[in-house]
Amino acid sequence: MSKATSYSAELVTAIVAQYQEGIAIETIAKDAGKTVPMIRSKLVSEGVYVAKAKTSKATGKAPVRKLALAQKIAAAVDVESLDSFEKASKSDLETLLTALTELLGEE
């Protein structure tokens, strides 16, 4: 039993071309009569979709994981690991890292 395809070769070509031209996925979906998740999925399966970089709502920069902060603190105080620090709040870890950096005169 063959599976029915919901995308013709021409439609796939058009979707990929529009995406590569920088047209918003929302616009492509509307023009193709598909949903945004369907278009995104098709672009992923075609190997052309590039996810947007995530940014922090507060700073606009790439978010830093608590693990990375704990590792930086461990390196600053010259210990191998501070596993329990990963359970601290992110803001407390950022504050501690900033204080250590200033105290040790590092960047």
> What does the alpha-carbon distance between residue 92 and residue 75 come to, in Å, rounded to a whole number?
17
Mean pLDDT of 81-87: 76
Per-residue pLDDT at 35: 93
Domain limits of the chain? Answer: 9-45, 66-104
Per-residue pLDDT at 3: 56
If one counts every other C-beta atom within 10 angstroms of the C-beta of residue 93, the result is: 23
Per-residue pLDDT at 38: 93
Digit-coded pLDDT (tens) for 35-80: 999 999 999 999 999 887 777 777 777 777 888 888 888 888 888 7
pTM of the shown model: 0.51
% of residues, the chain, pLDDT over 90:
37
- For residues 32 and 15, is the Cβ–Cβ distance under 8 A? yes
If one counts every other C-beta atom within 10 angstroms of the C-beta of residue 100, the result is: 15
> What does the alpha-carbon distance between residue 89 and residue 93 come to, in Å, rounded to a whole number?
6
> What does the alpha-carbon distance between residue 56 and residue 34 come to, in Å, rounded to a whole number?
30
